[in-house]
Structure 1
């Protein structure tokens, strides 16, 4: 519809002004619930609410509530986020909402005016999509053996992955569920069997750190195109260092190596998600050259949206 296209065009222009690395805004899918709000100057803003329930055996439940209401805002170039969030709150009043639920919005990190509205409505910045363009990495002296993980390394890869999952559950959106070991084992088995880019750092023959990565293509029609500039990107999904080995530079060495290898595979840059409340990753990742592109605002349970 014309009004939606106008909001998309205005929002794309706003995104470009906020951050040149943001992809253009796209029309939200129309299979969700459409809401609109009127502003004092007569302008209108809109949004689509996507409602999802995740099966008990879905790996998504390891970093997400079991039931999620996600808002995809279309506010154009207005400051209408507050009005849209109020309308979202009224919509939730018509829903039956349990405890294992969340409200989520992905929004450009540099839009500080929208951030004020999110905070006022009880949403918190639990995750950030950080991005790093392909640039020369500062030389990091190597004191470790770093090698590609194989299917024979499943048990140690699983152990390191679960260590990171548990730590992240205290400082972000991750949830340690009873099914976590089995879900992680299944996912990691598939990735190792498919020779995905996963590396282990070893000290004296003992694995002390893991970098689980992937190659993602951001092209028209792909889910990545809504978040990343066009091109082939390295995704740093999980970096885990055993608790007793943290603070000794192991993570820095492993990440520098992973960046080098992902760039060798043709990545124009790398991206990842980290948790701003995490006292380690919120410092570590900016030092490795990452900066926020998108912030994931969230409130749990969904009924706590103000």
Structure 2
């Protein structure tokens, strides 16, 4: 009988052929095991985890309150294996106490695996988020900005401006992705920004006439080994957490100017690359980030509520 280790080895070999930027290992957490068979009789498996994001947690701003995540082990059978595993997952969910509201089923899978993507679409899941990566190369020269704009590092005294701009981004993201603007969002964003502004994480502000019009919140991540949270190759990475531009200043080159400053800093820091998450349905970020040199590595497929999985 095919073992989980054999499925992981075959799956990782297939991933390496699909995309050389994928890590060599596939993270398999503890959770509920699933086993299924393809129409041809091949065994596939998976692990299901359940995560709760109660009110007051930062995670609740970009995830449902209750998330069931599937970690598929498909070996060499991406389409038929994913379809069989989703059917087994749907049957498994019937026996669980699944909330009808504020719940989700989620699968994070290599963006270039279009065979599995077909099965995920057929299962009712939507590609709501991408983890995108960029090599540590100098940025292209940016176009001249309209008007006088300056870019500088933000500090603790800029807390109010950073929070205001971050909340603007969250409101927009909640319309076109998996984020949710919850009542405690201002408090949570303020607490996170306060920590970031008092740390070594770089934050940049763009100002026009001394008025903040855009922010880029970034940080550093040490990915010693692949994890369910990062799914990156080992090394020190730069992380772009949030970029927000006031509506009236979008399209003026401010965002590109901010990221030029960030990417120049990333090159000086000697990181192996930079990464971020963006929403494919977002008509702004889905265009902006590829132009900055980012390309999808992992895609988060999701269906809400969890009971809508088919």
Shorter-normalised TM range: over 0.9
Secondary structure of the structure 1 residue equivalent to 2:87 = helix
The equivalent residue for 2:173 is 168
Alignment of 1:1-306 (within 5 A): 3-26=3-26, 28-30=28-30, 32-79=31-78, 80-98=81-99, 99-141=101-143, 143=145, 144-220=149-225, 227-306=231-310
For structure 1, the 5+ residue unaligned runs are: none
Tell me how far apart the structure 2 counterparts of residues 140 and 147 of structure 1 sit (CA, whole Å). 16
TM-score norm. by structure 1 comes to: 0.96
Tell me how far apart the structure 1 counterparts of residues 290 and 226 of structure 2 sit (CA, whole Å). 30
Secondary structure of the structure 1 residue equivalent to 2:40 = coil
Stretches of 4+ aligned residues off by more than 3 angstroms: 221-224
Tell me how far apart the structure 1 counterparts of residues 227 and 48 of structure 2 sit (CA, whole Å). 20
Secondary structure of the structure 2 residue equivalent to 1:170 = helix
Tell me how far apart the structure 1 counterparts of residues 93 and 24 of structure 2 sit (CA, whole Å). 29
How many residue pairs were aligned? 304
Task: Compute the RMSD of aligned alpha carbons.
Answer: 1.5
Q: Deviations over 1:91-139 (max 9, x none)?
A: 1111222201000000000000100000001000000111111123211
Shift of 1:283: 0.7
Shift of 1:256: 1.2
Shift of 1:263: 2.0
Secondary structure of the structure 1 residue equivalent to 2:11 = helix
Conserved 8 A contact 1:148-1:200: yes
TM-score norm. by structure 2 comes to: 0.95
Distance 1:100 1:248, change over 3 A: same
Secondary structure of the structure 2 residue equivalent to 1:217 = strand
Tell me how far apart the structure 2 counterparts of residues 132 and 221 of structure 1 sit (CA, whole Å). 17
Tell me how far apart the structure 1 counterparts of residues 199 and 214 of structure 2 sit (CA, whole Å). 21
For structure 2, the 5+ residue unaligned runs are: none
Secondary structure of the structure 1 residue equivalent to 2:176 = coil
Shift of 1:222: 5.4
Tell me how far apart the structure 1 counterparts of residues 13 and 275 of structure 2 sit (CA, whole Å). 23
Secondary structure of the structure 1 residue equivalent to 2:91 = helix
